[in-house]
Structure 1
């Protein structure tokens, strides 16, 4: 088992979990962001195509995303962080890429997601992040590093979180069902310590 997909809602520490799993397995970890960044750094033909769609305000077609991603994947092992985004992408990956051995879904309740997101604060001065419950600053409303004012991003407001969660659930449900029907799904409690999550995902 060396080819995994890691999925999870906002605030599930998905990227960190994916990196921990990749370290345990000794394989690279990829996301669409890291792949796109690598393509842009190398100024590949794919990056030119990406830019053309992005400049036009269009989504990059699934076929281009997948064909570019596949050039980075090693049949001997990888961890995909947050991809695929849709059941059609999952089917395309299954048809064109190395077979996925396991899909890990980091499970959090809506209440826990809301608690994690709405508690986040960002320093206006230095950009350092805090959390009112999990990593509180020494002085309420002030950054413990530079003393700057702490702000809540609009995306982290209770209203915005409540609006975003149903969108995420609706989008990811067909992906989870696609993999569940194929016996590849493993649900892992994302409230566990990170090392325990990575262990549960790979055992």
Structure 2
């Protein structure tokens, strides 16, 4: 099974992708982690990517695709894979499809984790991080006994800049704009499965499996 898992900020996309991959017994491929791994391995594509990053430039799509292509030719993906959050921003879905077609395969489903803007704002604006042990709390769903004090170590809690309501709105608008093309592409192919992103990760993973077994597109 070859899946893509997409979702807005606050959707716990990485946890869902990892859960689905574990159930299927296939690897999870995250673009950011892949790039870092390639950089540590000093691959030719990664070395070129580093030059662009040091110059304050975006990594060209051709380099990202070269890294993805190399990853998808390894033996552990023979039975499938779960792409975590890719493609959504830089690399058009049609390019990924062409790459996979060249490798003799294709995406089975693109999973879209659906959350309203209100829910995204609630989830992210309520997050607090401990300055001491770095544990994440939430003012609504996982509050501490004392406001702004970590139950684990007594450290001070703070809200990250990205979790300010203004920053959340900007990031969410950027995501919606960027991911639209990908969703439309897989919707047109009948391979988009939209799933409510509000239940627990375990429930979402179960629904992804149920949707796949039933072969039911959105």
Task: Please state which band the TM-score falls in when normalised by the shorter chain.
Answer: over 0.9
Q: Structure 1, residues 83-106: CA drift from partner, whole Å, max 9, x if none?
A: 002485211111112310000000
Write the distance in 2 (CA, Å) between the matches of 1:43 and 1:190. Answer: 37
Partner of 1:194: 201
Change (3 A) 1:43 1:6: same
- Inter-partner Cα distance in structure 2 for 1:88 and 1:32: 11
| Mapping 1:143-154, distance limit 5 Å | 143-154=150-161
C-alpha distance in structure 2 between counterparts of 1:59 and 1:137, whole Å: 40
CA displacement 1:15-45 (0-9 Å, x = unmatched): 0000111011111010111211221222222
1:169 Cα deviation from its structure 2 partner:
1.1
The 2-side partners of 1:109 and 1:176 are apart by 16
Does the 8 Å CA contact 1:87/1:175 hold for their aligned counterparts?
A: no
Q: In the superposition, relative to structure 1, how do residues 6 and 17 fare at CA in structure 2: closer, same or farther (>3 Å)? A: same
Deviations 1:47-96 (A, max 9, x none): 21111110011111111101111111235300000000248521111111
Q: Does 1:99 align with 2:106?
A: yes
Residue 84 of structure 2 is aligned to residue 81 of structure 1: yes
Match for residue 123 of structure 2 among 116, 119, 127: 116
The alignment yields a C-alpha RMSD, in angstroms, of 1.4
Structure 2 residue matching 1:164: 3-state secondary structure: helix
Equivalent pair of 2:129/2:158 in contact (CA under 8 Å): yes
Q: 1:52: which partner in 2? A: 51
Q: Does the 8 Å CA contact 1:86/1:174 hold for their aligned counterparts?
A: no
Secondary structure, aligned partner of 1:126: coil
Unaligned runs of 5+ in 2: 211-218
- The answer to whether structure 1 residue 175 and structure 2 residue 182 are counterparts is yes
- Indicate if the aligned counterparts of 2:45 and 2:66 stay in contact, CA closer than 8 A: no
3-state SS of paired residue (1:71): helix
Match of 1:125 in 2: 132
Cα distance in 2 for partners of 1:174, 1:199 equals 27
Task: Please report the TM-score for the alignment, with normalisation by the length of structure 1.
Answer: 0.94
1:68 counterpart = 2:75: no
Which consecutive residues of structure 1, in runs of 5 or more, have no partner in the other structure? none
Would you say the 8 A contact 1:12–1:190 is kept in 2? yes
